[in-house]
Amino acid sequence: MLIEFDQAVVSTPQAEVLRGVSATLAERRIGIVGPNGAGKSTLARLINGLVMPSSGSVRVDGLDTRRDLKAVRGRVGFVFQNPENQIVFPIVREDLAFGLKRLAPDRQQREARIESGLGSLGVGHLADRSSHTLSGGERQLVALAAVLVMEPALIVFDEPTTQLDLRNRNRVREAIAGLAHDAIVVSHDLELLDDFDRVLVVRDGIIAADDTPAAALRWYREHCA
């Protein structure tokens, strides 16, 4: 999957959140790090058109997020920083089933995908639970499973492990490593990005460093700690 940012600016009435980002991303595993408020989530959201550039452009496999939003959304799954924004149905199973209706019209097939998606993250036992009774970590894992089962060509994860204990962090790390497709992961959990292909450091609304994980994380520790 090819992501092209061309002088992408995101402004709000108060400030420029992103000040002109240009980059071409094609690696299978890309990490994004940076200080709080630097613009990481905004950059991530540009990729599936949750945020539109105020000027410049963002293209996904040649599709402009402005002109071809629907096609872009079909290719790019997004796991939110705050899973409350993501789980909308009252029962866990229904939440996963909703997205799958068109992809897997056969009910049995759909159920099998739901079981395996939840199972791969160790939360198969939550399928029939009421969504609002989930713990923070459980919610994060269910939100992740709901995107995994859709098998999009690219998944953008915005801080997927913030509420997770060690064991579940490892499960998410394995789930990302095992993805057949591409992943872009925003994270303050730097270990998660160790074996990635490339890491971007976002600072003050620009990509301030762009390198191998070891070099980019060294830069981040030196300049942003």
Examine residue 38 and tell whether it contacts ligand ATP (CB under 6 A): yes
CB of 16 to ligand ATP, least distance (A): 9
Examine residue 54 and tell whether it contacts ligand ATP (CB under 6 A): no
With CA atoms as reference, report the closest residue to 156 among 190, 194, 182.
182
Q: 10 Å Cβ neighbour count for 43?
A: 29
Two structure tokens written together for 189: 């959990």
Q: Exposed, middle or buried by CB within 10 Å (0-12, 13-18, 19+), for 101?
A: exposed
* Span interacting with Mg ion, options 2-10, 34-42, 52-60, 83-91, rule CB under 5 A: 34-42
Q: Tell me the pairing of strands 16-25 and 3-11.
A: antiparallel
- How far is the C-alpha of 205 from the C-alpha of 134, rounded, in Å? 35
Binds 1, which of ligand ATP, Mg ion, none (CB < 5 to 8 A, cut-off by type)? none
Candidate residues 29, 33, 41, 113; the one interacting with Mg ion per rule CB under 5 A: 41
Residue facing ligand ATP at closest CB distance:
41
Choose between 45 and 110: whose C-beta lies nearer to ligand ATP.
45
Binds 49, which of Mg ion, ligand ATP, none (CB < 5 to 8 A, cut-off by type)? none
Quote the longest CA-to-CA distance of the chain.
53
Are 204 and 175 in contact, with CB atoms under 8 Å apart? no
Binds 37, which of Mg ion, ligand ATP, none (CB < 5 to 8 A, cut-off by type)? ligand ATP
Choose between 54 and 116: whose C-beta lies nearer to ligand ATP.
54
Report the site for ligand ATP in 115-154 (rule: CB under 6 A). Answer: none
